[in-house]
Chains A and B, each alone.
Chain A
Amino acid sequence: DIQMTQSPSSLSASVGDRVTITCQASQDISNYLNWYQQKPGKAPKLLIYDASNLQRGVPSRFSGSGSGTDFTFTISSLQPEDFATYYCQQYDNLPPYTFGQGTKLEIK
């Protein structure tokens, strides 16, 4: 099975900061990667699909890039509502569709 290594596991930042989270796959997954946001007590929400495509309705301050084994998720200017936990998820070929361990983004 493909393993996803997400880093950092937690991150403190301030409103207005630029934030970057990385995800590394244990093998080449092309661009078969999604990013999700989860707020406490809520279900996850799809933000980015196919590594770099913004889900409809998601603000443009969120972006994703990468292919192969190395991927990056960026928030260009943090807003108060962005403090949450973020997960990457790969979907190369057949299941299982594995998630990264998550990155908890906290207010500094």
Chain B
Amino acid sequence: EVQLVESGGVVVQPGGSLRLSCVVSGLTFDDYTMHWVRQVPGKGLEWVSLISWDGGNTFYGDSVKGRFTISRDNNKNSLYLQMNSLRTEDTALYYCVKGRLGAGYHFDHWGQGTLVTVSS
């Protein structure tokens, strides 16, 4: 069974930094493109970032570009999101998401999310 387990969500002040982690099990992690998707509680979904299977390609949404960095450690089956210069509008539930093999833009497995709250 594929499992994605996020951690690292806390309350942080505006301007602060945070690192989210996601541990993936039940598959060969380095076969897959991975993503972060976020959701403000009670609102819609926003794609945040992706990283290719080998970490060689990364992309970001406009709202986080230059502030967030996605990375992965295939030896640890782990995905990360380094979040800097946090803003109140970054408050959201952050999901770790797996892309389908050969079609990394089909989000076929999701974690349960980790809540980031940016507040003074």
Q: Tell me the total A-B contact number using a CB cutoff of 8 A.
A: 58
**CB closest chain-A residue, reference B95:** A43
Inter-chain CA distance A15–B117, complex, in Å, is 38
Report if B50 contacts A (CB, 8 A): yes
Q: Is the CB of A101 within 8 A of B44?
A: yes
Which secondary structure dominates chain A's binding surface? loop
Contact of B107 among A36, A50, A96, A100 (CB under 8 A): A36
Q: Is the CB of A43 within 8 A of B112?
A: yes
Q: Is the CB of A46 within 8 A of B61?
A: no
Which secondary structure dominates chain B's binding surface? strand
* Segment touching A, from B7-15, B84-92, B98-106: B98-106
Contact of A49 among B47, B60, B100, B112 (CB under 8 A): B100
Inter-chain CA distance A80–B113, complex, in Å, is 26
CB neighbours of A46 from chain B (8 A): 106-108
Q: Known: A34-B106, A91-B105, A95-B50. Contact between A44 and B59, CB under 8 A?
A: no
**CB closest chain-B residue, reference A96:** B61
Q: Among B46, B95, B110, which residue has the most Cβ atoms of chain A within 10 A?
A: B110
Report if A98 contacts B (CB, 8 A): yes
Report if B111 contacts A (CB, 8 A): yes
Report if A99 contacts B (CB, 8 A): yes
Contact of B110 among A44, A50, A94 (CB under 8 A): A44
Q: Is the CB of A96 within 8 A of B100?
A: no
Report if A63 contacts B (CB, 8 A): no
Q: Is the CB of A55 within 8 A of B105?
A: no
CB neighbours of B35 from chain A (8 A): 97
Q: Is the CB of B107 within 8 A of A94?
A: no
Q: Which residues of B contact A (CB under 8 A)?
A: 35, 44-47, 50, 59-62, 95, 100, 103, 105-108, 110-113
